[in-house]
Structure 1
Amino acid sequence: MSTRLTLVLGDITRQDVDAVVNAANSSLLGGGGVDGAIHRRGGPDILAACRALRASHHGKGLPTGQAVATTAGLLPARHVIHTVGPRWSATEDRSELLASCYRESLKVAAGLDARTVAFPAISTGIYGWPLDDGARIAVETVRETASPTVEEVRFVVFDDRAHEAFARHLT
């Protein structure tokens, strides 16, 4: 099955999809940017599920490049897939870790039988990843990652600059 890639300028917390991907920090307990928005709009059930993960499998936090799912709480999505992107470094190539966020999130989505998945531009905010390179890695990785269930991957960006970067790589 071929996955359709789409691009939306908008609010990821308002996407009616099977799974929304959260650009989380390793604590899984909320933060700024996309992570904070998802926790605020999704309500306390997401935080409770994240705390349960911390109490069981992820006591030291979620490692960079990995992904795990929780309830979506009050979001229109069914699930939130939390993934921890790498911080950008001028001295170390961390591209594989960023690509792993997209691959691992799609694996988790397949395990949830998700047909539609919405991704933010992982690591391109406070983690400092250059936007154009982050868009390139996102699009290339999703195109190369076969999924038995995912019919649509929706890249949801919140400003014109990000929209232009993703559009360049989607054409």
Structure 2
Amino acid sequence: MRIEAVQGDITREEVDAIVNAANSSLMGGGGVDGAIHRAAGPELLEECMELRRTELPDGLPVGRAVPTAGYRLPARWVIHTVGPNAHRGETDPALLASCFTSSLTVAADIGARTVAFPAVSAGVYGWDADDVARIAVDAVRGFAARQDAASGRDVCGLDVTDVGTTTVEEVRFVLFDERLLHAFSAALG
């Protein structure tokens, strides 16, 4: 899997799927969430409202992911995930890592080979940018190793867990400022 970090606007990424740092209501909000809803158009909100009426009446739990269409975005899909909020005491790194791995599993299940991520929880949810970058990169690399093991490549010592049906070939961390780009570039080594 190719993994890179770039500075830019995630709503303009020409990838199969972009990941939305959503709130549990899925009804849009500020930051990345609001930008994605605005760029996708009102149909995205309508689909999110339908998800709330049917599959997710209590909202999307922290660390989980769910797909919708991308509508007016260049990306075919939006994968919504809810990051942990450090201001509410949600500081477990495993919960943050789950945002990335569950989003990649959803991507593989819907056939997305290229995925763009924001820095989930590094904004108003109060996580340190360096911590988010390290956890995100480790989670994505771990998912890539499990994908390799599932595809028959020799990856010693890994138990293969659900990695979806399609191989995710590229992950791009799309970061809106230089500070985040520096943190993710450092984590990528």
TM-score normalized with structure 1 length: 0.96
Question: Partner residue of 2:169?
Answer: 151
Cα separation, partners in 2 of 1:126 and 1:47, compared to 1, 3 Å: same
Q: After the TM superposition, which of the residue ranges 6-15 and 144-153 deviates more from structure 2?
A: 144-153
**SS of aligned partner of 1:65:** coil
* Structure 1 residue corresponding to 2:25, chosen from 7, 16, 27: 27
Q: After the TM superposition, which of the residue ranges 13-22 and 146-155 deviates more from structure 2?
A: 146-155
How far the C-alpha of 1:89 sits from its partner, in A, is: 5.3
Q: How many residues align?
A: 169
Given that 2:87 and 2:125 are in contact with CA atoms closer than 8 Å, whether structure 1 keeps it comes out as no
Report 1:83-162 matches (<5 A): 83-88=81-86, 93-146=91-144, 147=147, 148-162=166-180
**SS of aligned partner of 1:145:** helix
Q: Which runs of 5+ in 1 are unaligned?
A: none
- Provide the C-alpha distance between the structure 1 equivalents of 2:12 and 2:69, rounded to a whole number of angstroms: 15
Q: Which runs of 5+ in 2 are unaligned?
A: 148-165
- Provide the C-alpha distance between the structure 1 equivalents of 2:96 and 2:11, rounded to a whole number of angstroms: 22
Give a deviation string over 1:15-70, Cα, whole Å, max 9, x none: 00000000000000000000000000110111111011000010010000000000
Question: Partner residue of 1:48?
Answer: 46
Given that 2:21 and 2:32 are in contact with CA atoms closer than 8 Å, whether structure 1 keeps it comes out as yes
Give a deviation string over 1:104-142, Cα, whole Å, max 9, x none: 000000001111000000000000000100000000100
- Percent identity between the two aligned chains: 60
Cα separation, partners in 2 of 1:31 and 1:93, compared to 1, 3 Å: closer
Q: Determine which structure has more spread, i.e. the larger CA radius of gyration.
A: 2
TM-score normalized with structure 2 length: 0.87
